[in-house]
């Protein structure tokens, strides 16, 4: 499947780019979205005067921060239910406790590394283990 990012950005505009940034930074469904290549291509499209680069940057920043905060609140509010569940083939309580201990010991470093190296939404996991780092 060929994805024509410049055409996608032109058709969706600012709100499409911002929605993808929001979903990728804060929701578990965003991991498969083309975040880095989308932002690079959006910058290229903006260099062709089809989008305003400053509106694009400020909106992407706001949506990334909001997405991360929504992920944290979601994990904080609904994630504690996982501690009460029995183990299954997908979920093991010992992994959650191990993650919680690791986050409390290395929280800030862990978030930075995961966010910038792996682009995984750390807000949900941080909220889940109630890490305030």
Give the pair of three-digit tokens for residue 81: 């239910």
- Separation of alpha carbons 2 and 6, rounded Å: 12
Which of 104, 122, 123, 102 has the alpha carbon at shortest distance from 113?
122
CA distances from 75 to 27, 86, 122, 128 (A): 10, 18, 10, 4
Token pair recorded at residue 72:
């944290």
At 58 the pLDDT is 95
What tens-digit pLDDT sequence spans the chain (133 residues)? 566 777 877 788 899 899 988 988 877 776 667 777 888 888 888 888 888 999 999 999 999 889 888 888 887 787 777 667 777 776 777 877 787 777 777 766 766 666 555 555 566 666 666 666 5
Nearest to 31 by CA among 104, 99, 94, 125: 125
Q: How far apart are CA 16 and CA 3, in angstroms?
A: 15
Tokens of residue 29, six digits? 């469904």
pTM for the full predicted model: 0.71
């Amino acid at each position: 499947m060929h994805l024509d990012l410049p055409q996608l950005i032109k058709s969706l505009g600012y709100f499409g780019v911002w929605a993808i940034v929001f979903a990728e930074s804060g929701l578990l469904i965003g991991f498969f979205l083309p975040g880095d290549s989308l932002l690079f291509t959006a910058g290229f499209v903006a260099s062709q005067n089809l989008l305003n680069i400053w509106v694009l940057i400020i909106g992407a920043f706001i949506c990334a921060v909001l997405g991360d905060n929504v992920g944290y609140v979601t994990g904080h509010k609904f994630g504690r239910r996982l501690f009460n569940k029995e183990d299954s083939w997908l979920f093991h309580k010992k992994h959650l406790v191990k993650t919680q201990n690791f986050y409390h010991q290395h929280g800030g470093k862990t978030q930075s590394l995961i966010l910038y190296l792996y682009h995984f939404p750390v807000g949900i996991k941080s909220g889940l283990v109630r890490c305030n780092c």
